Structure 1
Amino acid sequence: MPIRPEHRWLYPIDWRELSTFVRFQRAKGCCEHCGRPHGARVQHLGDGRWYDEERRYWRDARGRRVRGLASPDRLPEQLRMIEIAGETMLPRTRVVLASAHLDHNPGNNHQRNLAALCQRCHLAHDRPEHRRQRWRTLFRRRASGDLFLGSYR
């Protein structure tokens, strides 16, 4: 995930090396919340469940094994979402790991505060912060509109 220009000064000079250590040496190239491997294209159902090709079973959003689901090629047509060349398939997503600050403070770069998360887990982890930021942005726009243009629409 790219660093915002206004936050760049909060990160240490060696952030790239620190991030690489967290993602590939400590986490061994897998998401620390759900276990998705970095760089792999995983099949998923859209609700967090994904197929682990290496172990040949489904996992949930926390990386735990899901029982009772057949392999992706044996799933019923209703669960397959994408149609390519007349054949329905499950969507595939390329997994990209990022180093996430667990307390949402980019100035706190202790090992305990950093986690290697895939894009899905990172967005889920940051969801409350994104909602707060969205509220602040809308509030600021509304206040600015009232101040300079009259009633904001």
Structure 2
Amino acid sequence: MPIRPEHRYFYPIDWAQLSAVIRFGRAKGCCEGCGRPHGRMVYHLGDGRWWDADAGRWRDGWGRRIRVAAEADILGQARPTRVVLAAAHRDHDTSNNAAANLAAFCQRCHMIHDQPEHQRRRWRTLFRRKALGDLFGGLYA
């Protein structure tokens, strides 16, 4: 994931190299959460289940092999997605760049990992908007 310009100074100068070591050195180009391969088109069902073409099997959202009931329109439900790995901080602290604190996650796993932080920021943004409205526009009806 690209780093926003206003957050760039939180990351070390060699972040691109550090991220590459984690994503392709340690994780070998696969998500550490679910096992999806970087740069490949993956067919998924939208609920976390995805087709592992290398193994010829369906996998769940955590990379475990599963059986999918043979439905007539299962291929009609599958949607393609290109997998892109990103290095994520496990404790959400961008100053802690220890190898044990970094993980290689695909888009889905990264969003799930960051969900509590996103909810907190969303609540804070909405609270701030409401407070500014109260300050400048009066109380809500």
Task: Name the structure 2 match of 1:126.
Answer: 114
Give the equivalent residue in structure 1 for 2:135. 147
One-letter amino acid of the structure 1 residue matched with residue 65 of structure 2? R
Q: 1:152 to 1:30 in 2, by over 3 A?
A: farther
**Code of the aligned partner of 1:106:** T
1:41-98 CA-to-partner distances (Å, cap 9, x unmatched) read 111111101010011001111101103545xxxx421x34xxxxxxx46211100000
SS at match of 2:38: coil
The structure 1 segments of at least 4 consecutive aligned residues displaced by more than 3 Å after TM superposition are none
In terms of mean alpha carbon deviation, does 134-143 or 4-13 score higher?
Answer: 4-13
Quick one: distance in 1 between partners of 2:126 and 2:140? 11
Deviation at 1:151, TM superposition (A): 3.0
User: What is the distance in 2 between the residues matched to 1:152 and 1:44?
Assistant: 44
| TM-score, normalisation: structure 1 | 0.86
Matched, 1:97 2:85: yes
Which residue of structure 2 aligns with residue 83 of structure 1?
none
Report if the CA contact (8 A) 1:30-1:97 is conserved.
Answer: yes
Relative to the length of structure 2, the TM-score reads 0.93
Whole-Å separation in 2 of the counterparts to 1:41 and 1:15: 26
Give the letter for the 2:64 counterpart.
Answer: R
Q: How many residue pairs align between the two structures?
A: 141
Letter of the structure 2 residue corresponding to residue 76 of structure 1? A
Question: For residue 56 of structure 2, what is the aligned residue in structure 1?
Answer: 56
Unpaired segments ≥5 residues, structure 2: none
